[in-house]
């Protein structure tokens, strides 16, 4: 049972500190790619050509290493994980950083999940669903045609992101909600791109070019989490969403739980992630239901970024 789940972020110590570093990140590495959705919602990332110098194995589909919000220090700035695995500082009001959520579960839930974990270099588990990757152009056109003819069924679920322009730092979070549609057993949302304006080239995981201020379909897929057994924490394998300020104040006030990013994660994101599942759930039945929906046949969620980690 997931009892009132709360989301948080990784801390710098959990990434780099010898005593505090999460064991699963020692094996997997601390760098992670971002999803198409994170890119569409404004995340900054380093493209594949830039990452060659980092000796990153980026997988088969042009994966991207993001810049991630971390639990902040108290010196007025937010703390971030950079694309090369270094810890840096950032203005709190930037919208180009990515959220890689962390979920702490009870020992009993962790024991149940470990029984059904998959070994993907490290132990992983599928839990919850979230828009992640853009389908091929043919599927995009079919979805557009069906929606124009009012032939797509709505599921009743929705996903909320920041509707403020990516580089409008002075305005706080403005919720913008996108409805979920069903097509051939697969679920999608249609979202308008709100891209990082400093980036000039955007490419989806499928190789399709992405343009500013255009609408794209994004498939809702199971979220894969890394399992850290010692701390009973699940760490999203990829950065899921961008566009969220750490705080609309330029300086960090020192209370993480009063920050904009914490408020977003636990008012909107946690609901969106787990709205399709009963929190008093039986995991084997839940997993079998995912397989029955053919979600696991998708070619997404297969990337893995490897880099020599820093102690």
Q: What is the overall mean pLDDT for the chain?
A: 84
Residue by residue, what is the 3-state secondary structure of 183-195? ECCEEEEEEECCC
Query: In angstroms, how far is CA 197 from the centroid of its own chain?
Result: 20
Q: Across the strands, what pairs with 278?
A: none
**Spatial distance between the Cα atoms of 162 and 246, rounded to a whole number of angstroms:** 12
According to the model, what pLDDT value does residue 47 have? 59
User: 307 exposed, middle or buried (CB, 10 Å; 0-12, 13-18, 19+)?
Assistant: middle
Q: Which of 54-58, 69-73, 80-84 has the lowest mean pLDDT?
A: 54-58
Residue 74 neighbours by CB distance under 10 Å:
10
Strands 153-162 and 175-183, sheet pairing: antiparallel
According to the model, what pLDDT value does residue 249 have? 80
Name the DSSP letter for residue 301: S
Confidence of residue 72 (pLDDT cuts 50, 70, 90): confident
Q: Which of 114-118, 214-218, 248-252 has the lowest mean pLDDT?
A: 248-252
Asked if residues 55 and 47 have their Cβ atoms less than 8 Å apart, the reply is no
Assigned token pair, 191? 């979202």
Assigned token pair, 75? 């010196």
Q: Among candidates 280, 277, 270, 311, which has minimal Cα distance to 9?
A: 270
According to the model, what pLDDT value does residue 200 have? 67
Q: Which of 32-36, 76-80, 110-114, 278-282 has the lowest mean pLDDT?
A: 278-282
**Spatial distance between the Cα atoms of 127 and 124, rounded to a whole number of angstroms:** 10
The model's pTM: 0.88
């Amino acid at each position: 049972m997931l009892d009132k789940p709360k989301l948080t972020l990784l801390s710098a110590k959990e990434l780099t500190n010898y005593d505090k570093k999460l064991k699963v990140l020692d094996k997997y590495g601390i760098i992670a790619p971002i999803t198409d959705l994170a890119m569409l919602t404004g995340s900054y990332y380093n493209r594949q050509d830039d990452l060659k110098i980092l000796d990153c194995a980026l997988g088969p589909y042009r994966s991207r290493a993001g810049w991630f919000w971390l639990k902040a220090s108290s010196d007025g700035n937010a703390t971030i994980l950079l694309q090369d695995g270094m810890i840096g500082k950032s203005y709190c009001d930037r919208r180009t950083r990515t959220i890689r959520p962390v979920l702490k579960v009870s020992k009993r839930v962790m024991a149940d999940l470990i029984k059904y974990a998959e070994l993907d270099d490290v132990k992983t588990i599928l839990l919850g669903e979230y828009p992640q990757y853009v389908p091929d152009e043919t599927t995009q056109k079919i979805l557009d045609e069906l929606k124009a003819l009012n032939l797509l069924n709505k599921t009743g679920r929705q996903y909320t992101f920041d509707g403020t322009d990516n580089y409008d730092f002075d305005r706080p979070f403005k919720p913008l909600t996108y409805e979920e549609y069903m097509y051939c057993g697969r679920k999608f949302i249609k979202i308008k791109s709100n891209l990082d304006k400093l980036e000039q080239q955007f490419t989806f995981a499928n190789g399709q070019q992405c343009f500013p201020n255009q609408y794209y379909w994004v498939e809702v897929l199971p979220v894969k989490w890394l399992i850290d057994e010692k701390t009973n924490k699940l760490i999203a394998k990829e950065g899921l969403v961008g566009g969220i300020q750490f705080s609309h104040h330029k300086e960090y006030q020192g209370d993480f739980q009063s920050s904009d990013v914490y408020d977003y994660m636990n008012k909107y994101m946690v609901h969106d992630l787990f709205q399709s599942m009963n929190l008093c759930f039986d995991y084997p039945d839940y997993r079998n239901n995912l397989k029955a929906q053919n979600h696991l046949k998708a070619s997404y969620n297969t990337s893995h970024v490897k880099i020599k980690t820093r102690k």
